Structure 1
Amino acid sequence: MTNTILLPLQVSSAAEGFPAAFRFLWIPLMAALVSALTAFWVSSRTIRANQDIARKRATLDLIERSVSTEYYLLIYSTFREVLDSPSGFEQITDPQMPALVEQRRKVIAFLNQYELIAIGIEQGILDEELYRDYMRGTVVRHWARAEGLVNHLRADTPDSRAPKAFEKFEALALKWETAKEAERRTG
């Protein structure tokens, strides 16, 4: 039998001179760092998911309100009435009669709804994909039909001078417009 002498483990590195208790201090520090990074990643994804849900809920609420409130239904019916009349929007470009002035006010209020929606989509408050899936065709058609009135409102005329009127609505409608719809609109 040989005599074996066990010697303590020799450490020859930068850890030399550190007390033994501090030699493996990096392990819990690394575990804490990994835990913090994981928590940050999970919370970021949760926040993003909650924002998506809130954006979709706001969009659905807007759609629901726009088809059920009395005011919206009133301005929409005026829009349709003017749109379907023989002279279309021409009759309200420079209205002289109080009834036509009131129609013009309601049509502009209706178009303002689209402008507000386009701004909400642009700023990420409303969900573009959800609104587009539900309203794309209507938005594009309404823009195509109202474009002449909007151009009149933008022109420097005695009854209007709003060069930026409905520019967000226009941008949204043109973005969603198909090539076939654009060709039909431009002639």
Structure 2
Amino acid sequence: MANNPSQQILKGRLTFIFALSAFLMSLYLVSGNISEFFKLGDWKIPDWLIFAQLLVFFASAYIAYSTIHSSRSTSRERATLDTILDDNKDDNLAHSKNIVLMFNEDPGAYYDKHKKDGQRDLAHLFCVAHHNLTNDEAEIRAHFLKVLNRYEFYAIGINKGLFDEELFKRMYCSTMLKFWGVVNPSVSQLREFAKKDTLFKDFEALAIRWKANPLKSEDIK
């Protein structure tokens, strides 16, 4: 059975460490007579063999480093694509997104149209304790938190380098920026009510970064 990406990365790291160690040890062995070592005209067969050995160790270290970098990139892209594909199949998540966006446009009309019992808008749903909300208000807040937590999960993965930011940006740049614009006041209320200013900070940091450098047509190649 094929090795998984994490095993490939570990093997690449070990190979890199061994190859680099061997290269440094060989370099140390000849360093005592380094001036003589680089007089090519005086080299004999053993000198050429040492030089060839150094080249092999250096090449091995470079190949191992390239393997580690390639494995990381492949693993990150695979994790990103798997996450995007799984979330696109999540009908409950899509439903929650629609609820939040429709409710935010006109809370009063949403309550009336769906015969919901409530008066608070999206931001004010987080100014009171959960038990003081109506059942319908609590349901809307649950939809909101579901989507917000999912986007925070994306942002943490991107900011920590676990997801491929370029792929995510091409898929979700406009969507996530739009959603952050909707939820920003509510997040501020939630932080104040919960007395925790770290809530959804990764999502905020990602939104600020993408807003300053939005997706452009030349980014799509």
TM-score normalised to structure 1 length: 0.74
2 CA distance for matches of 1:58 and 1:82?
A: 32
CA positional deviation for 1:178? 4.4
Aligned residue number for residue 125 of structure 1: 162
Aligned residue number for residue 180 of structure 2: 143
- % same residue: 25
- Give secondary structure in 2 for the equivalent of 1:30: helix
Aligned residue number for residue 6 of structure 1: none
> How many residue pairs end up in the alignment?
157
List alignment gaps of at least 5 residues for structure 2: 1-35, 37-43, 109-120, 215-221
Is residue 44 of structure 1 aligned with residue 33 of structure 2? Answer: no
Among 180, 187, 190, the residue aligned to 1:153: 190
RMSD value over aligned CA atoms? 2.4
Q: 1:120 to 1:179 in 2, by over 3 A?
A: closer
Give every structure 1 segment of 4 or more consecutive aligned residues whose post-TM-superposition deviation is greater than 3 Å.
84-88
Indicate conservation of the 8 Å contact 1:91/1:100, yes or no: no
2 CA distance for matches of 1:33 and 1:105?
A: 62
CA positional deviation for 1:35? 0.7
Indicate conservation of the 8 Å contact 1:136/1:176, yes or no: yes
- Give secondary structure in 2 for the equivalent of 1:126: coil
2 CA distance for matches of 1:98 and 1:162?
A: 25
2 CA distance for matches of 1:45 and 1:104?
A: 47
Among 99, 109, 132, the residue aligned to 1:78: 99
Cα deviation code 1:122-173 (max 9, x no counterpart):
1110011111111111111110111010000011x3xx33321111101100
Among 71, 80, 92, the residue aligned to 2:125: 92
TM-score normalised to structure 2 length: 0.64
Indicate conservation of the 8 Å contact 2:124/2:186, yes or no: no
1 CA distance for matches of 2:212 and 2:62?
A: 39
CA positional deviation for 1:90? 3.7
1 CA distance for matches of 2:213 and 2:170?
A: 18
Among 56, 81, 101, the residue aligned to 1:60: 81
Indicate conservation of the 8 Å contact 2:123/2:189, yes or no: no
Pair member with larger Rg: 1
Cα deviation code 1:27-50 (max 9, x no counterpart):
112111101110111121122112
List alignment gaps of at least 5 residues for structure 1: 1-13, 15-22, 181-187
Aligned residue number for residue 174 of structure 1: 208
1 CA distance for matches of 2:48 and 2:123?
A: 77
- Give secondary structure in 2 for the equivalent of 1:164: coil
- The answer to which of 111-120 and 98-107 deviates more is 98-107
